[in-house]
Each structure stands twice: as C-alpha cells, then as structure tokens.
Structure 1
Amino acid sequence: MDISARLARRIRELRDARGLSLDGLAERSGVSRSNISLIERGQSSPTAVVLDKLSAGLGVTVASLFEDGAAPVAEPSPLARPAEQPVWTDPASGYVRRNLSPASHSPLQLVEVRFPAGQRVAYETAAREVETHQQVWMLEGTMEVTVGDAHWRLEAGDCLSMRLDRPIVYRNPTRKPARYLVALATLPFMPTRRNG
C-alpha cells in the first residue's frame, strides 16, 4: 500500500474509533473539514504541520498515523525490515521520515528523519490524550530546535529530550542535509492533581 493510501486509511480509522465526525476532528485539530476529507480520500498530501495537528486532534503521535491499523490475523512481528518501514516525504519542506519501529504494540517508537538544507518546519504541538516524550539524537549535520521559548543548536552526537506539549520548530540552518533519530515514548495522560 502506498504511503498516501496508508495515511488516508489510518486517519479515517482513528477518527471513526474515537467517534469523531469530520467536523469534530476539524474543531479539535484546527484543520479544515474539507482538507481532512481530501486527505482521507487520498486526494491531498498533508504537510508535516497538518499531520501534527491531526495527530493532536486524534490524541496520538504523528508516528502512529503511519501504522497499519488493520486488525492483524496473527500477533504482529517484533521485527521491521527496511522494506516494511513506511517512508513519507513532507511536500512542504522535503523532509523524509522513516518509521523504523515494528508493528508490535510498544510505548516506544523510533523514526529516522532526513532534513534538507535550509528548511524549517514549525509544529504548534497541542495537548494530547497521552503524555509524549521525545528525544532527538543527531546522526549527521546540524539542526536548530526551538521548544517553547528554549533554543538549541544540535550537532552530530548531541541528544535533546523534550515533552510534546508546546510549539516546536526544527530548522536546518546549513547548506548540508541533516539526519537524526527520533525516539518517542507515550504514557497515559495523567491530569495534574490539585492539593487540597
């Protein structure tokens, strides 16, 4: 199945599983009803920013949007060979993401990103139904990452840890592509208790 068809099916499955109409998901995500409809029919290729908004509206990680949501006949394999790893290219920035994790259900997801020179992607990352922690480990090149008001310049070998609960901007300020590994871990959302 091609990546656009997989995304279309998965977004529709997640929306249906949550009992959300197109209008309901549009309201929760900030993505227009017509755009969601086009994406679900495979007639529009969403950008990374739109996928981030949809994942927040659905209460999942972006990586979850690339999973094969169909009910498996047998237990999913704990091994994901390169040919089985979904690869997607952001039509706006040209960044390429490869979901490395196997289909077996795990709270940990690994994603490899190849980020073109001079490009920038800004996520408005909203609160999700799950608490998501992310680490970015630079393999090659340089990236500037802004999380909320904090800013870092990452070089090969650097590893940055963050929670996905505030706006994040990724920028490659150089003339060379960058490559990094993203590790995501999800925990059930635990509302903050007030003392008293």
Structure 2
Amino acid sequence: MDIHTRIAQRLRELRDARGYSLEALAERSGVSRSNISLIERGQSSPTAAVLDKLAIGLGVALASFFDDGTPATEPPSPFIRAGDQPLWQDPASGYVRRRLSPPAPSPLQLVEVVFPAGQRVALDSAVHDADIHQQVWLIEGAMELTVGASTWQLQAGDCLAMRLSQPIVFHNPTRQDARYLVALATLPFQPTRRTP
C-alpha cells in the first residue's frame, strides 16, 4: 500500500473509531473540514504540521498515521524487512521518516528520520488524551530540539527523552543532513469522560 493511501486510510479509521464527524475533527484539530476530506480521499499530501494537528485532535501520536493496514484475515507480522519499511517525506521540510517497527501491535514504535540541513519543523505535540513518551537518539549530524521552554543541542550519540505534552521544535542548524532514531511508547487511547 502506498504511503499516502495508508495515511488516508488511517485518518478515516482513527476518526471513525472515535465517532468524530469531519466537522468535529476540524473543530478539535484546527484543520479545515475540506482539508481533512481531501487527505482522507488521498487528494492532498499533508505536511508534518498538519498531521500533528490531526493527531492532537484525535488524541494519538503522529506515528499512528503510519501504522500498517494489515488485512484482518492475516495476523500482523512481528517481522518487517528493510525494503518493506514505509517511507514518508514531509512536503514542507523534506525530512524523510522511515517506520522501522513491524506491523504486530506493540506499545513501542521505532522510527528513523533523515532531517535536511537548515530545516525546522514546529509541532504542537500536546496530545491530551494519551500518555506518549518519546526518545530521540542522534546517529549522525547535529540537531537542536526545543521542548516547551527548554532547548537542547544534540550531537551524534546524544539522546533526549520527552513526553509529548508540549510544543516541540526540530531544527537542523548545520549544512549537512542529520539522522536520528525515535522511540515512541504509547499507552492505549482512553476517551475523555465528560460529566453532565
């Protein structure tokens, strides 16, 4: 399955699972109803910033949009070959995301990112309906990560842990691409209970 089709399918699945109409998700995410509709029909390639807003509106990690749509007739595999790991490129910054984790369900997801020189991506990352923890381990290059009010300068080999409950800015201030591993651990989604 093509990555844009996967994103479209996952967005519909996540929205349907929560019982949100297009209007409800637009209100929760700040992404227009028409844009959500175009993404779900595979007619628009969303940026990382748009996917982040949708993830917040749905109460999931951004990584949820890249989960495998394995047919229900087959059990999800605990193994994935390098050539089958889905790649996605952010249309705005050009960063390339590779999902390393196999399709089998797990509370842990691994992602490899190649982040272009001089680029910056700002994510709200305030997922209020889920407890999501992330660690970034820099393999090559240098990155500047701003998590809430704190800024961290990462060099090759450095690792930074964070909870996705505040804005995060990824910035590569250098003239060469950076490569890093992201490990995400997520507790199951639990809808917020509203009292009358």
Q: TM-score range by the shorter chain?
A: over 0.9
The 5-angstrom pairing of residues 26-175 of structure 1 reads 26-175=26-175
Which residue is equivalent to 2:194?
A: none
Q: Deviations over 1:48-74 (max 9, x none)?
A: 011111111111111111112355313
Provide the alpha-carbon RMSD of the alignment.
1.5
* Count, aligned residues: 191
**Deviation per CA, 1:157-193, whole angstroms, max 9, x where unpaired?**
0000000000000000000000000000012479xxx
Q: What is the aligned partner in structure 2 of residue 193 from structure 1?
A: none
Other structure's SS at 1:130 match: coil
Quick one: distance in 1 between partners of 2:12 and 2:187?
23
| SS of the residue 1:104 aligns to | coil
The aligned amino acid for 2:67 is E
Distance 1:176 1:70 in 2: 36
How far apart are the structure 2 equivalents of 1:93 and 1:134? 21
Q: Distance in 2 between matches of 1:60 and 1:71?
A: 22
TM-superposition CA deviations, 1:140-161 (whole Å, max 9, x none):
0000000000000000000000
* More displaced 10-residue stretch of structure 1: 100-109 or 64-73: 64-73
Once residues 184 and 73 of structure 1 are traced to their aligned partners in structure 2, the CA distance between those partners, rounded to angstroms, is 28
- Once the two structures are superposed, the pairs formed by residues 180-195 of structure 1 within 5 Å of their partners are 180-188=180-188
Task: Give the drift of 1:2.
Answer: 1.2
Q: Which amino acid aligns with 1:2?
A: D
> What SS does structure 2 have at the residue aligned with 1:27?
helix
- 2-structure distance, mates of 1:106, 1:72: 17
2:55, 2:127 within 8 Å by CA — same for their partners in 1? Answer: no
Counterpart amino acid of residue 65 in structure 2: L
What is the SS of the residue equivalent to 2:6? Answer: helix
- Unmatched 5+ residue regions in structure 1? 191-196
Name the TM-score, length of structure 1 as normaliser: 0.93
The equivalent residue for 1:17 is: 17
What is the TM-score of this pair, normalised by structure 2? 0.93
* Partner-residue secondary structure (3-state), 1:127: coil
CA distance in 2, matches of 1:84, 1:141: 26
User: Structure 1 stretches (4+) deviating beyond 6 angstroms?
Assistant: none
Amino acid at match of 1:156: A
After superposition, the C-alpha distances for 1:79-133 in whole angstroms (9 at most, x for unaligned) are 1111221100000000000011011100000000000000000001123321000
